[in-house]
Amino acid sequence: MAYYHNAIDNEFKGSRSYEVISGYNGIANIFREKNQPDSVIYYSKQVLNDFNTSLFTRGFMEAAANLANAYETKGITDSAFKYFKLNSALKDSLYSQQKNMEVQNLAFAEQKSEIQINEKKQKDQEERKQNLQYAVLGIGLISFLMLFFLLSNTIIVRTGFVKYLGIIALLLVFEFINLLIHPFIAGITNHSPFFMLLIMVCIAALLIPAHHYLEKWITGKLVAKNKSIRLAAAKKTIAELEKNETK
C-alpha cells in the first residue's frame, strides 16, 4: 500500500494518469481482500472522478467492478446495480475501441500492401523498360556489324563468326519480343505458366526458320563478297608479278 501511495503522490496533483488510476485501484483491491467495503468505495471513487478526462478504460472498469462488489457486500443494491451497469458500459466501450482499432489496422495493412504492390509494379516496369533498351542496343549493334561486313570491300569475314553473331541476334530478338508482349500474354492467360510457355514456343517456332533463312542469305552474300575480294587481290598480285617480270 505504501508503494501505491508513493506512486500517487509522485504524480501531478489532480491528474488521472495510468500510475494514479492503477495506484487507487491497487489500494482498493487491498481493502477488498481485507473485507473493508467502505475503503474500497472511497478509493474506487477516486478513480472515477472525472474519468472522461482519461483514456484508461480498463482502470475505470476495475474501479466500477470494485464499487459494484462493495455496494453489494453492504446490501445497497441500487448503487451496486448502477456500478454493474457502468462496468458493462465500459466493457462495451472497450470492445468498440478494440474493434475500431482492428478495422483501422486492417485498413492500414491493406493500404500498405497496395503501396508495396504499386511500388513493385513500378519497379518491374522500370526494369522491363531498361531491359528492352538493352535488347534494342544489342540488336542494333549486331545489325550494324552485319551491314558493315556486307558493304565492306576490304574485310574478309569467316562464316562461323557470322553464324555466332546470328545466334546472339536470335536470342536478343526472342528476349525483346518476350519483354515486349509479356504483360499482354500474362493478361490474356491469367499468368498461367503452361499457356505462357506455349505462346513463347510458338513464337520461337516462327523465329527459328526466319533466322535460318536470313543467316543463309547473309552467309551467301558474305561468301560471294569474300571470293570477289580474294579474286581482286589475286589479280592485283598477278599484275604486280607480271609487271616486275617485264622490268
Domain residue spans in the chain? 2-106, 152-246
Question: Has residue 30 got a pLDDT over 90?
Answer: yes
Q: Are 177 and 202 in contact (CB under 8 A)?
A: no
What is the sign, positive or negative, of the torsion defined by CA atoms of 117, 121, 124, 130?
A: negative
Of residues 229 and 45, which shows the higher confidence score?
45
Q: For 135, list phi and psi in degrees, rounded to 5.
A: -65, -40
pLDDT of residue 55: 62
> Is residue 219 within 8 Å of residue 163, measured between CB atoms?
yes
What confidence tens digit (pLDDT) does each residue in 137-171 have?
A: 888 888 888 887 777 777 777 778 778 888 888 88
Q: Give the fold, CATH level 3, of 2-106.
A: 1.25.40
Q: Is the pLDDT of residue 77 over 70?
A: yes
Most confident of 2-6, 151-155, 161-165, 236-240: 2-6
Judged against a pLDDT cut of 90, whether residue 190 lies above it is answered with: no
pLDDT at 52: 60
- Contact predicate 68/84, CB 8 Å: yes
pLDDT at position 29 = 92
Confidence of residue 247 (pLDDT cuts 50, 70, 90): low
Q: How far is CA 51 from CA 38, 47, 54, 58, 90, in A?
A: 20, 7, 6, 11, 11
Residue 17 has pLDDT above 80, yes or no: no
* HEC string for the chain: CHHHHHHHHHCCCCCCCHHHHHHHHHHHHHHHHCCCHHHHHHHHHHHHCCHHHCCCHHHHHHHHHHHHHHHHHHCCHHHHHHHHHHHHHHHHHHHHHHHHHHHHHHHHHHHHHHHHHHHHHHHHHHHHHHHHHHHHHHHHHHHHHHHHHHHCCCCCCCHHHHHHHHHHHHHHHHHHHHHHHHHHHHHHHCCCHHHHHHHHHHHHHHHHHHHHHHHHHHHHHHHHHHHHHHHHHHHHHHHHHHHHHHC
